[in-house]
Structure 1
Amino acid sequence: MPGTYVRCAVTGERIPLEDLRYWSFERQEAYLNARAATRRAAEAGGPESPTGDAASGREAGS
C-alpha cells in the first residue's frame, strides 16, 4: 500500500515505516539496517563515514 513503506537506498528492500530505524539526514536516504547504512557511508566518504574525521572526533584540518 502506498505511503506505508520506504525502500532501502542500498538494497532496494521495502522497509515498513514503523520499522524504519536508520536514516541519513544528510543524504535523505533510508537504510534497512546498520550494515546497509555503514556501507553507504563508506561509499560516500562523507562526514557520516566511519573512516572520516567526524567519526574519529577530530576536527577537519587538525
Structure 2
Amino acid sequence: GGVESLIECPFNSSHMFIPEPVRTAAGVVPGFVRVSIGIEDVEDLWQDIEQALAQI
C-alpha cells in the first residue's frame, strides 16, 4: 500500500476482465468511481477534486 490518493474507474480498469454480470452485481458499473484517500491535506484534495470536476 502506498500513501498517495487515487481516483479510478474499476469497471474498465482493475475489474475489466471480470464478467460484466458479476461486476454489476457487485455494484461496479460504468461511471462508478473509487476514491482512495492518502495522507494529503484534505483541503488540497478538495481543490483537486473540484478542479477535475470543472473539466467535465
Q: TM exceeds 0.5?
A: no
Higher percent of residues as helix: 2
TM-score by length of 2: 0.19
TM-score by length of 1: 0.18
